[in-house]
Amino acid sequence: MWSLASGLEGRIAIVTGAAGGIGSACLRAFAGAGTHVVACDVDRARLQTAFASMSREPGHLSVVADLTRPEDVEQLIEQTMSAFGRLDILVHTAAIHLRLPFERVDEPAWQRYMDANLKSAFLVSRAVSAPMRAARWGRIVHFTSLAAFTGGFQPQTSVVYSTTKGAILTMTRSLAHVLAPDNVLVNAVAPGGVLTPMAASLSREALDA
């Protein structure tokens, strides 16, 4: 019978946004399945805490990187390949939600959303695709959101967040077509409300929606 462990044991997986609620849960799930995990986040202190929550078995790596910066993305891939010699899986969970009312989203806020949520997803996907295509095996999973379909639990403060998540969904579809011939599969997960620190400010009505 198939199990999570039998499918992932010995694989090399990068998890971005690893200090967040969903990212840190992915770390623990992968480590429990025998996967060698590269935990990546921009927040050094929170990343250290999340990394410590994993299995204490050796064979994992922690990398502080700002995935909106191409040079940081390159460093992430270089450190992964240097440590493990290959790269099998990317799980990209990194994202922000500023929860600004629509009329208060100025150009800097718009750009911050686009960089953190969409640009990072593109840059890291492009970077991991090269070693995956060379190996003719890879799995890329993007975390989008139910907001990509609904406009968000609180639409007044979710216009730009939902826009970025919808764009990631479309990018995932396109990447799936481009990379499939090299046995690199690309999928997206669109969770609803999840009790993470990012969701802490949501109203009870929004959480129950």
Give yes or no: 161 in active site: yes
**Distance, CA of 130 to CA of 133 (rounded, Å):** 5
**Active-site residue, from 11, 161, 165, 171:** 161
What are the residues facing 140 on neighbouring strands? 90, 186
Structure tokens that stand for 80 in this block: 């992964």
Residue 152, SS3 per DSSP = coil
Neighbours of 122 (CB within 10 A): 16
DSSP letter at 114? I
82-111 burial code (b ≥16 CB/10 A, e <16): eebeebbbbbbbbbbbeebeeeebeeeebe
Residues tagged active-site: 161
